[in-house]
Structure formats: C-alpha cells, structure tokens
Amino acid sequence: MESIVVFCGSSEGGSSIFAEQAYVLGKTLAAKNMTLVYGGAKIGVMGKVAQGVLENNGRVVGVIPEFLKIKEVVHENLSDLIVTQNMHERKLKMHELSDAIIMLPGGFGTLEEFFEMLTWSQLGLHQYPIGVLNVDGFYDELLQMLWKMVDKGFVKETDYRSILVDDNVYGLLGKMENYAPQSVPKWINKEQL
C-alpha cells in the first residue's frame, strides 16, 4: 500500500477519542511513508488525520468539490489539493489516487463514500483492501446490520469478510498490509458496465 483514501467526518463527534485516533492514523501513515488521500478539509476528524500526517512530514492529497472550497473548510497547507466539479468526480479521483480504503467515524457522507467503494469492490472494479477503524465500537451496529444482509441472502459472506475491521490503528494496517484479494468470481465484470 502506497496511498490510502480515508473517509471520515467533518465533525469531531461527541468524544475526543475519534479525533485522537484520527491523528494516530495520520502519524502512522507518515511513519510508513504512505500518502493520505482525503476530503481536503481542515475541520473535524478529517482535519485531525491530515494534521497527523503533516506534522510528521508525510504527504497529504486533498480532494474537494468546488462548492466546499470555502476558507472555513478547505485545508490550505496540504501537499496537493485537487478541486473537482462535484461529489461524484471527487470520489472517482480519490479512488484513482489510492490503493487502499479506510473508514473512520463519520456521518452520512462518510457512509456514502465508503459504501460506494465497497460496492465497486463487490462488482470487481477494484481489489483494494478495505478497512474500518472501529474506534470505541462506533461501527458495531453497522457491522451487525451488514451481517444481517448476509444472513438474509442479500450479501455474500465472502464480500462481508473482505471488510477488514479493527479498533486499533496498527492492527488494522497490519490486516490491510496482509490482505489477499478474494478469487471468488464476481456476478458482473467491467465489460458489462
């Protein structure tokens, strides 16, 4: 892994542990010489993960849509800032710039971005390791819901098991570094899209 896209909240949430672990992730990515690709904001959990990388001499690429590029939001001290026309172009650019995906605590936008990348994996459009940093059990209920989708026949167990989960930055990155893409045939391929 050389470049990891991190999806996370533009808020710091209701507990300081979310921002603290985002900073630890950023610091660890810098130590491992991995580029952070993220949403380009200086606020919230997003700002903390970028700060963790930048304060430890790492590389950060922000990708932000034009309508969010306002002074109160955009991080102006990144290694690189890419401005897109819209949210759809933003996700595509983030995907193109990375070879792994991590979701930290966040809200609707975080889930939307994560699930689109997860769906692309399910469709065979990429084979990136996909990680969930389950800080303080934040995603416990979501993971239970995903298992219910398996149990009720809407998701293959192999697709569910491809989501790498840990509550510790080092544990999660270790799982991602050792990830071997599944060889289960997909129900659709790129030529059909």
Range(s) of the domain holding residue 72: 3-177
> Would 192 be classed as within a structural domain?
no
> Would 193 be classed as within a structural domain?
no
> Would 182 be classed as within a structural domain?
no
> Would 17 be classed as within a structural domain?
yes
Q: For residue 5, give the nearest of 114, 87, 81, 83 by alpha carbon.
A: 114
Report DSSP state, residue 73. T
Residue 64 has pLDDT above 80, yes or no: yes
Report DSSP state, residue 68. G
Q: Please give the angle made by the CA atoms of 172, 84 and 134, to the nearest 5 degrees.
A: 20
Could you report the per-residue pLDDT of 68-120, keeping only the tens digit for each? Answer: 887 768 998 999 999 999 999 999 999 999 999 999 999 999 999 999 999 99
Residue 27 has pLDDT above 70, yes or no: yes
Residue 188 has a pLDDT of 54
Residue 191 has a pLDDT of 59
Residue 131 has a pLDDT of 98
Its sign, for the CA torsion 17, 6, 25, 142, is: positive
Its sign, for the CA torsion 111, 112, 117, 123, is: positive
Please tell me the pTM assigned to this model. 0.91
Residue 100 has a pLDDT of 98
Residue 182 has pLDDT above 90, yes or no: no
**Cβ proximity of 25 and 169 under 8 Å:** yes
Residue 190 has a pLDDT of 53
Average pLDDT, the chain: 93
d(C-alpha 17, C-alpha 93), whole Å: 29
d(C-alpha 66, C-alpha 106), whole Å: 21
Residue 68 has a pLDDT of 84
Residue 181 has a pLDDT of 85
Number of domains composing the chain: 1
Residue 177 has pLDDT above 70, yes or no: yes
Q: How much of the chain exceeds pLDDT 90, in percent?
A: 86
Could you report the per-residue pLDDT of 149-175, keeping only the tens digit for each? Answer: 999 999 999 999 999 999 999 999 999
Residue 192 has pLDDT above 70, yes or no: no
Q: For residue 103, give the nearest of 155, 176, 2 by alpha carbon.
A: 176
> Would 165 be classed as within a structural domain?
yes
> Would 183 be classed as within a structural domain?
no
CATH label of the domain that carries residue 117: 3.40.50.450
Task: List phi, psi (to 5°) of 41.
Answer: -95, 155
d(C-alpha 62, C-alpha 178), whole Å: 26
